[in-house]
């Protein structure tokens, strides 16, 4: 039982580590996101334009100016700093206040007590 638990903990920590580092997108995905962030076809995008796509603007902004050019965006994408629109982490559906409190969901012990 301990081995299964430890394997689960390891798998969860590995998955979290991969998520924290960012998911690397394909070149085609990066190009598509650049075009979405830059619909006017300008040479650079602002931090506000990059915000929905770039997880760490400072790290992506290699020259330290207030914008990203396509080369900086592509490098950020290769380094896992660009996310697709489907991975924003925003939830949809019912507000969390409609969820049952964890206390009500806690398993009961053999005496019927929750603790």
Q: Which residue has the tokens 């619909």?
A: 39
Domain edges within the chain: 21-85
For the chain, how far is it from start to end, CA to CA, in angstroms?
A: 23
Q: Residues 3-31: what's their mean pLDDT? A: 57
Q: Which residue has the tokens 């602002």?
A: 46
CB contact at 8 A, 30 and 82: yes
CATH of 21-85, one of 3.40.630, 1.10.10, 1.10.238, 2.50.20: 1.10.238
Other CB atoms within 10 Å distance of the CB of residue 45: 22
Q: What is the pLDDT of residues 50-107, one digit of tens each?
A: 999 999 999 999 999 999 999 999 999 999 999 987 544 444 444 444 445 554 555 6
Closest-CA residue to 23 (of 96, 85, 108, 111): 85
């Amino acid at each position: 039982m301990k081995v299964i638990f430890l394997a689960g903990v390891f798998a969860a920590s590995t998955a979290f580590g991969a998520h924290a580092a960012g998911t690397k997108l394909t070149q085609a995905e990066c190009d598509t996101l650049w075009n979405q962030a830059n619909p006017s076809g300008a040479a650079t995008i602002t931090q506000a334009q990059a915000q929905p796509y770039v997880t760490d603007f400072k790290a992506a902004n290699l020259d330290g100016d207030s914008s990203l050019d396509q080369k900086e965006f592509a490098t950020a994408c290769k380094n896992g700093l660009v996310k697709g629109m489907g991975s924003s982490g925003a939830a949809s559906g019912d507000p969390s206040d409609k969820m049952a409190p964890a206390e009500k969901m806690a398993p009961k012990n053999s005496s019927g007590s929750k603790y």
